[in-house]
């Protein structure tokens, strides 16, 4: 999704820092980029379709290097194809205004006709340019920038994060939010804006999260937040415990590989200091996780998208098993439009890495309107999902930059495991002893994850992935907690390797998809000893009998004996096997994509944080 940066400095130049900020936001996905800066009255805009390196070529002459105020943007096309003309920043043709935007202006056609009728000339196909003309019109009428922005936004339907700069009397740097995230950071000599705290970390760790309806005016060392009517609002900075180092590759060739390797630490950070060994229980920090509250629940409704949805599916198995509460799960994008019925006392549980996914947020809001208690499993403190949920379990995965989610998924599954234990203990379906055994086993996962990440183990997985580099398609099969792991393994491969891969519940194969199996087709079967292991083995026989080439992943020795190739995973209890089994599947996708020469950290067509519908 689009990324915004902005800076206003008393003394220092801002351009290089803004370009670095855009580089940090690259992971969100983009197809063009641009900057606008002013050093005096005239605003200079440079923008380019393609990667940031193309924009840097335009800036290489150093002509803009001294500017002290600017805005920048990475664009992920919605209205209008990726092109130099459609790239942001946009202007109104006056040379004294520049605007960047993330989101969609729904009534832009109507506004464009109105502005064109007044003689205003448009130079792009974007909805954004309408906003720059609206603001420009107000400035031409003598308004201060902040007032011009407020008046213009009152005309707009849709959702947006914008940053606008103008020169001349009453000019400066103003931003506003209605939907997509925007954060502000201020130092004694400067003020910064970003779509993501990662872009601010080189400058400050004290950040202000804007809320929907906020308008902020920035100047070096200061920020003032008001609502759309101009009423002052208090927005205090929060201290972020991430650092700029965490947002670098740390010597790995790709963020995805670095993040896969971080997973043993992510487990420890997300779980270990929440474990109460004496009572076989768990404590959470944010919100009301009391026995009384949890005993009152009749059901849980999980809402999420993509990889987070797969973590939610694991949560369903765990919560139903440990706490005996019915759990429903739905794609957030379906839940929000299917006029859902939430019977009884429901806990709506949003699972999200970013906490800004538009569909997840809308589904969460709808669940609250329908009377549900709300909770989130989320990785970003201060994100909208966290702020709008009554209770939160923060996953401490640290910043996830690789577009294909890995460590955030493991953290979500671990958080779901902790929640299932907490619910089981609160509702008396788990004894102290049972809770303790489960949590002890969780602790024991760390060295097992490390074993999976040992160089020799990785190389075996990589060799299998490379051996199938020309395969036309894959199946990933699993049952129970390993069914969502099969889905996740297939999703990872699709995302970064662009190969067709189907994740399926192993028992469903014979109801249709088995017809797709032809001789030599690679079938990844995920299995762990437990309630459904022998059923999975029967399914494995079925695909083998049709000529499938079986790659067995997991700790079920009997499955390995039947398979053509094996990826051995250390043993654990069935409920936790998902946490271990996903790691070789992440590595499989990574090495398959590497062998195919794909752009692993920036897969085509994908955005990291999907803040539009």
Distance, in Å, from the CA atom of 589 to the CA atom of 609, rounded to the nearest integer, reads 21
From 36, 260, 308, 532, residue interacting with ligand F6R (rule: CB under 6 A): 308
From 214, 259, 495, 542, residue interacting with ligand F6R (rule: CB under 6 A): 495
From 86, 132, 301, 405, residue interacting with ligand F6R (rule: CB under 6 A): 405
- Which position among 407, 492, 602, 608 bears the catalytic label? 608
Could you tell me how many residues of this chain bind ligand F6R (CB under 6 A)? 14
The least CB distance from residue 495 to ligand F6R, in Å, is: 5
Judged on CB neighbours under 10 Å (0-12, 13-18, 19+), 383 is: buried
Scanning 6-14, 207-215, 240-248, 303-311 for contacts with ligand F6R by CB under 6 A, the matching segment is 303-311
Antiparallel, parallel or unpaired: β 549-554 and 565-568: parallel
Q: Dig out the tokens for 184 from the structure.
A: 């502000």
The least CB distance from residue 25 to ligand F6R, in Å, is: 15
Give the footprint of ligand F6R on residues 100-139 (CB under 6 A).
Answer: none
Q: Can you say whether the dihedral through the CA atoms of 27, 91, 203, 609 is positive or negative?
A: negative
Let me know the angle formed at the C-alpha of 404 by 181 and 514, rounded to the nearest 5 degrees.
130
Residue 388, CA atoms < 13 Å, CB-side half-sphere: 26
Scanning 197-205, 313-321, 346-354, 522-530 for contacts with ligand F6R by CB under 6 A, the matching segment is 346-354
Q: Dig out the tokens for 263 from the structure.
A: 């997973």
Q: To 10 degrees, the CA torsion angle through 479, 483, 489, 493?
A: 100
Distance, in Å, from the CA atom of 130 to the CA atom of 17, rounded to the nearest integer, reads 28
Strand partners, 46: 35
Q: Is residue 535 flagged as an active site residue?
A: no
Q: Is residue 2 flagged as an active site residue?
A: yes
DSSP 431-471: -HHHHHHHHHHHHHHHHHHHHHTSHHHHHHHHHHHHHTTT-
Name residue, tokens 């001349």.
Answer: 168
- Which position among 2, 33, 305, 598 bears the catalytic label? 2
Q: Is the Cβ–Cβ distance between 176 and 214 less than 8 Å?
A: yes
From 404, 445, 523, 576, residue interacting with ligand F6R (rule: CB under 6 A): 404
The least CB distance from residue 310 to ligand F6R, in Å, is: 8
Contacts of 459 (CB under 8 A, 6+ apart): none
The least CB distance from residue 333 to ligand F6R, in Å, is: 10
* Cβ nearer to ligand F6R, comparing 214 with 359: 359
The least CB distance from residue 99 to ligand F6R, in Å, is: 26
Q: List the beta strands (DSSP E) in 533-603.
A: 549-554, 565-568
Does residue 586 interact with ligand F6R by CB under 6 A? Answer: no
The least CB distance from residue 381 to ligand F6R, in Å, is: 14
Of 305, 306, 308, 359, the closest CA to residue 337 belongs to 359
Distance, in Å, from the CA atom of 139 to the CA atom of 498, rounded to the nearest integer, reads 48
* Cβ nearer to ligand F6R, comparing 515 with 605: 605
The least CB distance from residue 18 to ligand F6R, in Å, is: 25
Does residue 305 interact with ligand F6R by CB under 6 A? Answer: yes
Q: Does residue 242 sit in helix, strand or coil?
A: coil
Scanning 47-55, 123-131, 349-357, 522-530 for contacts with ligand F6R by CB under 6 A, the matching segment is 349-357
Strand partners, 6: 71, 193
DSSP 194-233: ESSGGGTTTT-SEEEE--TTEEEEEETTEEEEE-TT--EE
From 9, 91, 204, 307, residue interacting with ligand F6R (rule: CB under 6 A): 307
Contacts of 536 (CB under 8 A, 6+ apart): 477, 478, 479, 482, 506, 525, 526, 527, 556, 559
Does residue 611 interact with ligand F6R by CB under 6 A? Answer: no
The least CB distance from residue 404 to ligand F6R, in Å, is: 4
Rounded to a whole number of angstroms, the CA Rg of the chain reads 25
Tell me the per-residue interface mask from 350 to 389 with ligand F6R, x by CB under 6 A, - otherwise.
--xxx--x--x-----------------------------
The least CB distance from residue 417 to ligand F6R, in Å, is: 18
Name residue, tokens 């992510």.
Answer: 266
* Cβ nearer to ligand F6R, comparing 313 with 572: 313
Catalytic sites, residue numbers:
2, 608
**Where does this chain bind ligand F6R (CB under 6 A)?**
305-308, 352-354, 357, 360, 404-405, 495, 609-610
């Amino acid at each position: 999704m689009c990324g915004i940066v902005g800076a206003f400095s008393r003394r220092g130049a801002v351009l290089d820092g803004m370009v670095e900020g855009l580089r940090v936001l690259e992971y969100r996905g983009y197809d063009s980029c641009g900057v606008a800066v002013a050093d005096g009255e005239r605003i200079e805009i440079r923008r380019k379709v393609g990667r940031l390196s193309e924009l840097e070529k335009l800036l290489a002459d150093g002509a803009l290097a001294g500017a002290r105020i600017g805005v920048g943007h990475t664009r992920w096309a919605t209205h209008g194809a990726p092109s130099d003309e459609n790239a942001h920043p946009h202007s109104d043709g006056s040379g004294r205004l520049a605007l960047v935007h993330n989101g969609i202006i729904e009534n832009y056609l109507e506004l464009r006709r109105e502005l064109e009728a007044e003689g205003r000339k448009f130079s792009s196909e974007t909805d954004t340019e309408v906003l720059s003309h609206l603001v420009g019109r107000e400035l031409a009428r003598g308004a201060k920038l902040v007032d011009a922005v407020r008046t213009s936004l009152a005309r707009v339907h849709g959702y947006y994060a914008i940053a606008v700069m103008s020169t001349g009397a009453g000019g400066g740097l103003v931003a506003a939010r209605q939907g997509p995230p925007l954060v502000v950071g201020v130092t004694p000599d400067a003020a910064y804006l970003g779509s993501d705290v990662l872009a601010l970390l080189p400058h400050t760790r004290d950040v202000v999260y804007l809320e929907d309806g906020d308008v902020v005016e920035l100047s070096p060392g200061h920020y003032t937040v008001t609502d759309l009517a101009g009423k002052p609002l208090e927005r205090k900075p929060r201290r972020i415990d991430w650092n700029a180092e965490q947002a670098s590759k740390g010597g790995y060739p790709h963020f995805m590989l670095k993040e896969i390797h971080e997973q043993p630490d992510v487990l420890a950070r997300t779980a270990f200091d929440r474990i109460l060994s004496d009572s076989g229980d768990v404590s959470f920090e944010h919100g009301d996780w009391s026995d009384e509250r949890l005993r009152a629940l009749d059901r849980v409704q999980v809402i999420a998208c993509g990889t987070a949805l797969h973590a939610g599916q694991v949560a369903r198995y765990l919560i139903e098993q440990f706490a005996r509460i019915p759990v429903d799960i739905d794609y957030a994008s379906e839940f929000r439009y299917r006029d859902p019925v939430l019977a009884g006392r429901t806990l709506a549980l949003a699972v999200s890495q970013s906490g800004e996914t538009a569909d997840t947020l809308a589904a969460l809001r709808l669940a609250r309107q329908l009377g549900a208690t709300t909770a989130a499993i989320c990785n970003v403190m201060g994100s909208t999902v966290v702020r709008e949920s009554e209770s939160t379990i923060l996953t401490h995965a640290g910043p996830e930059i690789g577009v294909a989610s890995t460590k955030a998924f493991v953290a979500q599954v671990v958080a779901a495991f902790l929640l299932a234990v907490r619910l089981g203990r609160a509702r008396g379906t788990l004894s102290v002893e049972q809770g303790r055994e489960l949590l002890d086993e969780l602790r024991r996962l760390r060295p097992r994850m490390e074993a999976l990440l040992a160089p020799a183990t990785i190389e075996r997985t990589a060799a299998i992935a490379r051996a199938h580099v020309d395969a036309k398609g894959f199946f990933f099969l699993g049952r129970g907690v390993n069914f969502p792991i099969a889905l996740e393994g297939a999703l990872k491969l699709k995302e970064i390797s662009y190969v067709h891969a189907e994740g399926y519940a192993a028992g469903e194969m014979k109801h249709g998809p088995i017809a797709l199996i032809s001789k030599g087709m690679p079938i990844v079967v995920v299995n762990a000893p437990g309630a459904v292991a022998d059923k999975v083995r029967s399914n494995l026989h079925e695909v083998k009998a049709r000529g499938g080439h079986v790659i067995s992943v997991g700790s079920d020795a009997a499955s390995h004996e039947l398979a053509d190739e094996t990826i051995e995973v250390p043993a654990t209890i069935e409920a936790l096997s998902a946490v271990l089994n996903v790691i070789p599947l992440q590595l499989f996708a990574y090495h398959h994509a590497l062998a195919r020469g794909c752009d692993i950290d920036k897969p085509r067509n994908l955005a990291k944080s999907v803040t539009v519908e």
